[in-house]
């Protein structure tokens, strides 16, 4: 990918500063990231079979949805996967005791999934911060198999520090989780996509884009401030990936973070992030 760094500076403060300024990193797979991806793939194969990227053809829609929901819940709430997530964080020299993190989520983008009206929010252009996430939040994205631009997402880097028209004011974190903590994991109720309010980009954008291409287990790091959008997947295969988010607590407290240019969401997801030493905080109450 053009304009993407492939190694981290040795100084951790510099790494975070660069991320807060819009730098994007695509880092090689390492033992920690491959251990995490392989552990998830064991569960996926148990549920969906070895040819899991074709699983959308093998199961009825409701059955497929329920299987994915069970996988998401197990991965998000399991202390085993929280530990594996912490190992990935530490392996990139982010001191885990200085972070709060949102546990790992399984992301599934089906072939022609954009044709399902209930899945429309997945394809909205957005910043992660529009979901009541801290300005200092860093997103970690890890593919479970090799991926190519036509099945991933793209960044609009010119808008990193430029405001865009959006309706992020519709999103309040407390209201979001009031009806059920399951929304933190991903949809467990098929009607969620039809009834919930999801913030989205409300204008056309132009200029340079960065398309995501990555190998299994590589780690993509970017600021939650980045404007990006999932692409419509018409590859004939379902795309599987993982992501989690970290917030450096001292940076957050000191407002060492990207300038908020257009986020009007309210509340804060940080109150339910996991903090090492208090394992399970904000996680075990998921139904």
> pLDDT value at position 184?
64
263, 106 in Cβ contact below 8 A? no
Other CB atoms within 10 Å distance of the CB of residue 119: 18
> pLDDT value at position 116?
81
Chain segment 1-31, per-residue pLDDT in tens: 657 999 999 999 999 999 999 999 999 999 9
Q: Mean pLDDT, to the nearest integer, of 122-150?
A: 97
For domain 25-272, give the CATH number: 2.60.120
The alpha-carbon radius of gyration of the chain (Å, integer) is: 18
What is the bridge-based pairing of β-strands 25-27 and 210-211? unpaired
Q: What is the pTM for the complete model shown? A: 0.93
Chain segment 231-271, per-residue pLDDT in tens: 988 899 999 999 999 999 999 999 999 999 999 999 999 99
Q: Where are the domains of the chain?
A: 25-272
Cβ neighbours for 115, distance < 8 A, ≥ 6 positions apart:
none
Higher-confidence residue: 256 or 276? 256
As a whole number, the mean pLDDT across the chain is 91
Cβ neighbours for 105, distance < 8 A, ≥ 6 positions apart:
72, 75, 76, 185, 186, 242, 243, 244
> pLDDT value at position 177?
87
How many whole angstroms separate alpha carbon 266 and alpha carbon 124? 19
């Amino acid at each position: 990918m053009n304009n993407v760094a492939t190694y981290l500076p040795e100084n951790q403060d510099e790494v975070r500063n660069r991320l807060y300024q819009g730098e994007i990193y695509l880092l090689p797979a390492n033992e920690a990231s491959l251990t995490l991806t392989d552990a998830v793939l064991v569960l996926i194969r148990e549920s969906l079979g070895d040819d899991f990227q074709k699983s959308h053809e093998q199961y009825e829609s409701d059955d497929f949805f329920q299987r994915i929901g069970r996988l998401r819940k197990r991965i998000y709430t399991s202390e085993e996967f929280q530990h594996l997530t912490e190992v990935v964080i530490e392996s990139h020299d982010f001191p885990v005791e200085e972070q709060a993190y949102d546990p790992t989520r399984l992301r599934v983008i089906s072939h022609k999934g954009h044709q399902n009206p209930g899945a429309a929010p997945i394809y909205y252009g957005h910043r992660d911060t529009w979901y009541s996430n801290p300005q200092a939040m860093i997103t970690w994205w890890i593919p479970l198999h090799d991926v190519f631009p036509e099945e991933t997402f793209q960044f609009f880097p010119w808008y990193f520090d430029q405001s865009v028209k959006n309706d992020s004011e519709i999103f309040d974190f407390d209201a979001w989780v009031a009806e059920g903590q399951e929304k933190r994991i991903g949809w467990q109720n098929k009607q969620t996509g039809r009834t919930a309010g999801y913030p989205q980009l409300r204008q056309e954008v132009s200029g340079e884009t960065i398309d995501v291409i990555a190998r299994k287990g590589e780690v993509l790091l970017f600021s939650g401030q980045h404007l990006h959008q999932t692409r419509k997947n018409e590859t004939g295969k379902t795309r599987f990936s993982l992501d989690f988010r970290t917030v450096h607590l001292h940076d957050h407290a000191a407002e060492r973070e990207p300038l908020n240019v257009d986020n009007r969401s309210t509340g804060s997801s940080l109150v339910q992030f996991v903090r090492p030493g208090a394992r399970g905080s904000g996680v075990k109450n998921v139904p």
